Each structure stands twice: as C-alpha cells, then as structure tokens.
Amino acid sequence: MTALEPPTGESRHAAASPTRRRGRELQQAIYQATFEQLREVGYAGLTMDGVAAAARTGKAPLYRRWPDKDALLVDALRDRLPSADDIPLVGDLRSDLIAILRFLHSACTISADTALQTVKQQSEATHAMVRERISEPTRRLILQTMRAAEERGDTRPGSATPLTARVGPAMITYQNLSAPAELTDEFVVSVVDEVLLPMLRGQA
C-alpha cells in the first residue's frame, strides 16, 4: 500500500485499538479524557463509553474501578486538586495564613474551568468532595493557626473564633466568583496583611 492509498479495514482497526497502558499511566489518561469529554459534551453528555473511547482504552478498566461517571469524576477532580497535607505550615501567623489561603487560591484556579464549575453545580458527589477536600480543611487550618497565635500572645485574646476563621476564605471565594482575573497572589497577601492581621491584633 502506498502512502496515498487509504488504509485497509485492518489498518483502521489497528489505529483505533486501545493503547496498552497500566497503573498510573492509564489512570492519568482516563482522567485527562474525562476532562476533555466534559469540555466537549458537558456533564449531561458525559458517559463511561465516551471516556473509554477518548482515552483509547476498553470499558472494562473503567468499570472495574468506577461504578458510574460521578465516581469517576470525584476521583479525577480529587487527583487534580491540591491537598491540604502539602501546605507548608511553619508556626508563624502571617506565613501560615498566606500559605493556607494560597492553597485555597490554587484550588480556585484549578476549578475555574467552566466544565468543572458545571460539574460542581450538577453533581452533588463532586460538590461534596470539593467541600471535604478544600473548604473544610481551609477553615479548620486557619482556626488552628489563629488559636495557636492567640496562645502565643501574638493576637488579642478571643480573636480566634470559627467566625473570624471564615473571613479570609470568604474573601478569596467571593473574589473568585466576582472577578477571578483579579484573584492573584498579591490579592491573597493583601487579605492577610490588610484584613486578617489587623483584625486579629486589634489594630486600627
């Protein structure tokens, strides 16, 4: 067959054959295909068959691990989002507040994809996972950081409360919703320096 001749049926079948991958390599291909399919067909049009075809793998590897598309989406999004365990806390109030809010900023940036925003709105499972992985750890770590600073005498007594721990995350989240292009690292630092530290230290 010359280069100008159309491929035979056998050649076409070979080109469409599943790519042999295993373990982490196959998992990443499936996750990537999941996000690509989301952008192309949306949450409603997303199917396990479509993901398998886009990832150039069989359906069996998907169904062995994920019973449905929501389970697959939860794992794919969890794999892409940052982990609170990786936040570099050092025991300094300002440094730790900035590190925690940068973690939230990173999660917001990753989730800014229109397809992922749609998923969080339409899939309760993925929305709950984001809350468990990002929102709740952020507030918990900020409150712990504030309480530790209060115990050291770095802030005014009574300043570390569940309500004050919500101020920083609320500002980051609101900025992400209202003007995501302005949600920069400089904005994160300004929230700490101009809002949180004066609030916690009782500065005018």
- What is the CATH number for 141? 1.10.357.10
In this structure, the answer to whether residues 141 and 192 fall within a common structural domain is yes
6 lies in a domain? Answer: no
Domain interval for residue 39: 18-68
9 lies in a domain? Answer: no
Per-residue pLDDT tens for 131-146? 899 999 999 999 999 9
- Which of 68, 96, 128 terminates a domain? The answer is 68
In this structure, the answer to whether residues 184 and 94 fall within a common structural domain is yes
Do residues 72 and 99 touch, judged by C-beta distance below 8 A?
no
- The mean pLDDT of 2-31, rounded to a whole number, is 58
Q: What are the structure tokens assigned to 161, written together?
A: 């409360």
In this structure, the answer to whether residues 120 and 33 fall within a common structural domain is no
pTM score: 0.80
In this structure, the answer to whether residues 159 and 61 fall within a common structural domain is no
2 lies in a domain? Answer: no
Do residues 192 and 164 touch, judged by C-beta distance below 8 A?
no
3 lies in a domain? Answer: no
In this structure, the answer to whether residues 189 and 119 fall within a common structural domain is yes
23 lies in a domain? Answer: yes
Neighbours of 31 (CB within 10 A): 20
The single-letter code of the amino acid at 29 is A
- Which of 36, 68, 100 terminates a domain? The answer is 68
Contacts made by residues 125-132, CB under 8 angstroms, sequence distance 24+: 125/70, 125/71, 125/73, 125/74, 126/70, 126/73, 126/74, 126/77, 129/74, 129/77, 129/78, 130/77, 130/81
The CA distance from 117 to 188, in Å, is 22
Per-residue pLDDT band at 17 (split at 50, 70, 90): low
DSSP 134: I
The CA distance from 140 to 16, in Å, is 48
164 lies in a domain? Answer: yes
Number of domains in the chain: 2
Find where tokens 């950081």 sit: 145
In this structure, the answer to whether residues 107 and 128 fall within a common structural domain is yes
5 lies in a domain? Answer: no
**When comparing pLDDT for 10 and 42, which is higher?**
42
Per-residue pLDDT band at 127 (split at 50, 70, 90): confident
Find where tokens 């590897």 sit: 61
In this structure, the answer to whether residues 97 and 159 fall within a common structural domain is yes
Do residues 127 and 117 touch, judged by C-beta distance below 8 A?
no
In this structure, the answer to whether residues 33 and 116 fall within a common structural domain is no
Per-residue pLDDT tens for 84-102? 999 999 999 999 999 999 9
The CA distance from 44 to 52, in Å, is 16
Per-residue pLDDT band at 8 (split at 50, 70, 90): very low
CA-to-CA dists, residue 149 to 33, 87, 95, 145, 158, angstroms: 45, 17, 12, 6, 11
**pLDDT score of 110:** 84
In this structure, the answer to whether residues 141 and 89 fall within a common structural domain is yes
